[in-house]
A = this chain, B = another copy of it.
Amino acid sequence: MSTQENTPQENTPGTEPVFNRIALIGAGLIGSSLAWASRKKGLARHVAVTSRSAATRQRIAELGFADSLHEDIKGAVTDADLVIVCTPVGACGAAAEAMAPYLKPGAIVTDVGSVKQAVVRDMGPHIPEGVHFIPGHPIAGTEHSGPDAGFAELFEGRWCILTPLPGDDPAATAKLRRFWEGAGSMIEEMDAEHHDKVLAITSHLPHLIAYTIVGTAVGLEESTKNEVIKFSASGFRDFTRIAASDPVMWRDIFLNNREAVLEMLQRFSEDITHLQRAIRWGEADTLEQMFTRTRAIRRGIIEAKQA
């Protein structure tokens, strides 16, 4: 085991931290951003960070966003009031199992995964009695990953969805809400099944499509491929940004939200086949009507200030 202690951080004067000690399991884009936000906004007195890779720990020490750095989960979660699992969703279950014996009674365990039913399924059984398990998902990110990608403002003005389990203590949820609000987020609560369905269409399917079309371009002959890069400003560029997202994270999302993604993909396939047929048969009205009604959604997003 390897543990390093840094000098204590300065909290924002006059504000009381929401938690005494928080533990971040994993320090990629989300974990490192949470560490920066916690330190800069004074949300916790101590930010413990765990990473299994010595090279990553070295880099985190250089970046300086952890009050203590731990090779194993035990060192990070011992005495923590809030534990946030920031790994790809496929690793959540093993993390919960590893931390279970060391969790303090009354502690809150949450996560940041883009899938919630699978996280409840994989983490839930390992969480001991007397520990509050409140799955969460900040709708925030960039196409960059790793501890260097984090920044304190990532969550500002962004939604964070919490999916508290039936019968959980409302006081614990309220405390977790205060933490995310302190990081700048707006909070929404819903059940895990509904979350997974909404995210399947707003996030998972767009990523799958972006990965696919960029892959389709990769498969073209060399001369065309070079020109795809050259002339990417004509629409393709937006897809490449999405398709540059972390591969392991996204592999786990698709494997763990299979039913909802496959349902949305089926609807999408029907719709694109409908347009394909309209193009083949030269049905101008079908195309124009379709392209007109999608403008309303953009207006809705601009009005909702998410653009």
Contact = CB atoms under 8 A, between A and B. Distances in A.
Interface of A: 114, 139-141, 143, 158-159, 161, 188, 197-199, 201-220, 224, 227-245, 247-248, 250-251, 254-255, 258, 261-262, 264-265, 267-269, 271-272, 275-276, 279-280, 282, 284, 287-288, 290-301, 304, 306-307
B288 A248 contact: yes
A268 B199 contact: no
| A interface majority secondary structure | helix
A13 to B, nearest CB: 32
Nearest to A190: B227
A203 B238 CA distance: 11
Oligomer: number of copies: 2
Contact of A255 (B206, B245, B282, B307): B282
Contact of A202 (B235, B251, B279, B300): B235
Contacts of A245: 291
Contact of A217 (B201, B212, B234, B284): B201
13 contacts: A141-B234, A143-B298, A197-B224, A202-B217, A202-B234, A203-B234, A211-B290, A213-B268, A238-B238, A243-B295, A244-B299, A251-B291, A262-B280
A218 to B, nearest CB: 6
A300 B143 CA distance: 15
A256 to B, nearest CB: 10
A224 B201 contact: yes
